[in-house]
Amino acid sequence: MGSSPKTLERLKHLTATGALPPGSSICDIGATQLFGDKDQQASRAFLSFYADRFPGAKRPEDVPPEALQKIADNGFLGDLLLLAGFQYKALDIFHATNTILFDLNIHEPGPGLIEQFDLVINLGTTEHVFNQLRAFQTIHTLTKINGVCYHDLPMAGYLNHALYRYDPLFFSTVLPANRYALLLQEVTLGAEHAVPDALKTMGYRNATFTDVGVEVVYRRTSSDPFRVPMETSTSLSIDPAFEKIVQSDLVRMPTNADVHYGTSLSFDSVSFVDLTRVWISRLTQGVRRRISPR
């Protein structure tokens, strides 16, 4: 989990545009480290920016030099956020600054964390989590209504780095399903690396690969629980047995589950006929989609 001077600029931008008021509450999905600021320029500018806007923020000259150096040189972002006047919590599997021991694979937020945060940041954590559904449900649940989520995640490259990578299609599917309002989306190029010999023997033909990241910032606009999207861009039709499968005694929807099938209609409030009508309409417009049983 890593941040950089770019991250600090993003947070300042969110504040400048009114999306992140000074002194807000922030939840860090994974206790994030700060890299690339050994000269402290970005950290000092960050503190000065918030000290000009919030009485609870410390100016860089009010922080012991050794303390600021410890943060800026691969220290914890949370320590800098606290100095800037933010309320900060992290969820992680080890102890760090204001960190709650929390496994994103299995745990869910308790009453003391539900909808408590103005900003939830996921700066390179969820790609390491096998249970993506639980992880993104957690992020949704932590975020206040009208709160903001900030993701900075690998899109390509990062070979042997994590379990998952995310391309824009992932977020273009998740956002409408949950009525999130997109605030920022940007692709960033990272370092170029030599391809490991083990991958070459498996057929990887290029000599090098480039790390590519995707940043997405959106606002939660609805009090609805997280809705599971289904990506259906390669689908054709709906299986006539789909409704029977869902309603049988053999297969049931999990408690409190809500699935989004790419329409404005909720799965549990629409008849099979209505769903079919929607999808036939899409087919006549040349859109190839199908909901397949799982």
Contact 152, 215 (CB under 8 A): yes
Q: Distance between CA 160 and CA 198 in Å, rounded?
A: 11
Arithmetic mean of pLDDT, 133-153: 97
Q: The whole model's pTM is what?
A: 0.84
* Amino acid making up residue 175: L
pLDDT digits (tens, 9 = 90+) for 182-240: 999 999 999 999 999 999 999 999 999 999 999 999 999 999 999 988 777 777 665 65
pLDDT of residue 11 exceeding 70: yes
CA torsion through residues 33, 39, 40, 44, sign: negative
pLDDT of residue 265 exceeding 80: no
Q: Distance between CA 137 and CA 225 in Å, rounded?
A: 8
CA torsion through residues 40, 87, 180, 294, sign: positive
Per-residue burial over 243-258, b = 16 or more CB atoms within 10 Å of its CB, e = otherwise? eeeeeeeeeeeeeeeb
Arithmetic mean of pLDDT, 257-283: 52
Per-residue burial over 111-126, b = 16 or more CB atoms within 10 Å of its CB, e = otherwise? eebeebbbbbbbbbbb
Looking at residue 284, its pLDDT comes to: 57
- Backbone φ, ψ for residue 191 (5° rounding): -80, 155
Arithmetic mean of pLDDT, 44-54: 98
pLDDT digits (tens, 9 = 90+) for 276-288: 555 555 555 554 4
Q: Which residues contact 168 (CB under 8 A, 6 or more apart)?
A: 155, 185, 187, 214
Looking at residue 145, its pLDDT comes to: 98
Beta-carbon-side half-sphere exposure of residue 5 (alpha carbons within 13 Å): 11
Q: Distance between CA 192 and CA 190 in Å, rounded?
A: 7
Q: Distance between CA 185 and CA 175 in Å, rounded?
A: 12
pLDDT of residue 147 exceeding 80: yes
Q: Which residues contact 284 (CB under 8 A, 6 or more apart)?
A: none
> Domains, the chain, ranges and CATH?
2-219 (3.40.50.150), 230-284 (no CATH)
Looking at residue 239, its pLDDT comes to: 65
pLDDT of residue 269 exceeding 60: no
Looking at residue 238, its pLDDT comes to: 56
Looking at residue 5, its pLDDT comes to: 97
Beta-carbon-side half-sphere exposure of residue 179 (alpha carbons within 13 Å): 13
Looking at residue 287, its pLDDT comes to: 44
Arithmetic mean of pLDDT, 90-97: 96
Kind of pairing between the strands at 117-122 and 87-92? unpaired
* Amino acid making up residue 13: H
Query: For residues 248 and 267, which has the higher predicted lDDT (pLDDT)?
Result: 248
Residue 3, CA distances (Å) to 22, 38, 157 in order: 19, 13, 18
pLDDT averaged over the chain?
87
